[in-house]
Every structure is written in structure tokens, then in C-alpha cells.
């Protein structure tokens, strides 16, 4: 997974150009993934995989991810 994004009461799992939907809210995944894997919550609605992070643009305050998306 490149990142997880909250969408109301469900969570979108984003990898490359595909998206899967999870039945739980993002908060439940945050507890699991931050503790056991290299994920970092950058906002209340985004959880990024630090292994998929290419760079951080300080002037724009965004992370560029391996799938080309900016978070």
C-alpha cells in the first residue's frame, strides 16, 4: 500500500493506480499500521507508507509518493 485515505466511515487503500475499500474507519487501521509497520499519519484523513515516500517538498508541504500522487 502506498497510502490509506479516509472516506467518511470507510477507508480507501491506494496502491499504484488501484484502490480497495476497507469497511472500517481510518482510525482503526492507524492503530495497527503505525505500531507494526512503517506508516505515518500526516493528517486526520491520510496515513502514508514511509517506504513508498519519495520526497517531501517543504515549500509546498506535500509528500510525493511512489505512485506519483502528492499527499
Instruction: Give pLDDT, residue 5.
Output: 94
Model pLDDT, residue 39: 93
Order of strands across the sheet that contains 18-22: 18-22, 10-15, 3-7, 46-49, 39-41
Radius of gyration of the chain (CA): 12
Output the pLDDT for position 7: 92
pLDDT in tens, the chain (71 residues): 899 999 989 999 999 888 999 999 999 999 889 888 899 999 999 999 999 999 988 888 888 998 888 88
Amino acid at each position: 500500500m502506498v497510502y490509506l485515505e479516509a472516506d467518511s466511515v470507510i477507508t480507501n487503500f491506494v496502491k499504484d493506480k488501484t484502490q480497495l475499500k476497507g469497511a472500517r474507519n481510518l482510525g482503526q487501521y492507524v492503530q495497527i499500521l503505525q505500531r507494526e509497520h512503517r506508516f505515518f499519519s500526516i493528517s486526520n484523513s491520510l496515513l502514508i507508507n514511509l517506504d513508498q515516500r519519495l520526497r517531501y517538498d517543504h515549500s509546498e508541504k506535500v509528500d510525493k509518493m511512489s505512485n506519483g500522487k502528492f499527499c
